[in-house]
Amino acid sequence: MKKLSVLDTMFLLMDNDEHKMHVLAYAMFEKPAGCSKDYMDKLVQEVRDNPWPYPHHRDKVSRSLGSLGLYYWERDTNMDMSHHVQYIQAPGTGTIKDIRDYTADYQAESLDYSRPLWELRIIDGLENSNQYAIVAKIHHCGIDGISAMNMLEELFRVDQSDHSNPDMASKKKQQKTKARKAYKNSRVNSLQAYWKGLKQVVGDIKSGASMLVPPEGKVPVTRFNEIVAPTRSFATVSLSLPDVKAVSEATGGTVNDVVSALIGTGLRRYLESKGEVLNKSLYATMPVSLHTDGDMDESNKISMSCYPLASDTKNPLEQIHTIRQSTRKAKAEMKSLPQSVIYSLMGAGALAVLSKKIRGVREVNARRMTNVMISNVPSFKETRYYKGSRLLGLYPLSLILDGVGLNITVSSYVDSLDFGLASDKTKAPDIELICDHMKDAMEEMKAEILGEQVNKIIAATAS
Q: pTM for the full model?
A: 0.87
pLDDT in tens, 263-282: 999 999 999 999 999 999 99
**Number of helices followed by number of strands (H, E) in the chain:** 13, 15
Distance CA 147, CA 442 (A): 31
Q: Do 367 and 271 fall into the same domain?
A: yes
The answer to whether the beta carbons of residues 273 and 428 sit under 8 Å apart is: no
Query: How many distinct structural domains can be found in the chain?
Result: 2
The reply to whether 260 falls in a domain is yes
The answer to whether the beta carbons of residues 317 and 448 sit under 8 Å apart is: yes
> What's 78's domain CATH number?
3.30.559.10
Q: Do 254 and 156 fall into the same domain?
A: no
Q: Is residue 331 predicted with pLDDT exceeding 60?
A: yes
pLDDT in tens, 78-111: 999 999 999 999 999 999 999 999 999 999 899 9
Q: Do 341 and 451 fall into the same domain?
A: yes
> What's 227's domain CATH number?
3.30.559
Q: Do 326 and 266 fall into the same domain?
A: yes
Q: Do 339 and 425 fall into the same domain?
A: yes
pLDDT in tens, 16-44: 887 889 999 999 999 999 999 999 999 99
Sheet (strand 302-308) strand order: 233-240, 416-423, 407-413, 372-380, 283-289, 302-308
Nearest residue to 225 (alpha-carbon basis) of 145, 181, 280: 280
Q: Residues 6 or more apart from 185 whose CB is under 8 A from it? A: none
Q: What is the pLDDT of residue 189?
A: 46
For residue 310, report the phi and psi dihedrals to the nearest 5 degrees.
50, 40
The reply to whether 127 falls in a domain is yes
The reply to whether 380 falls in a domain is no
pLDDT in tens, 212-264: 888 888 899 999 999 999 999 999 999 999 999 999 999 999 999 999 999 99
Domain carrying residue 243: 190-372+415-462
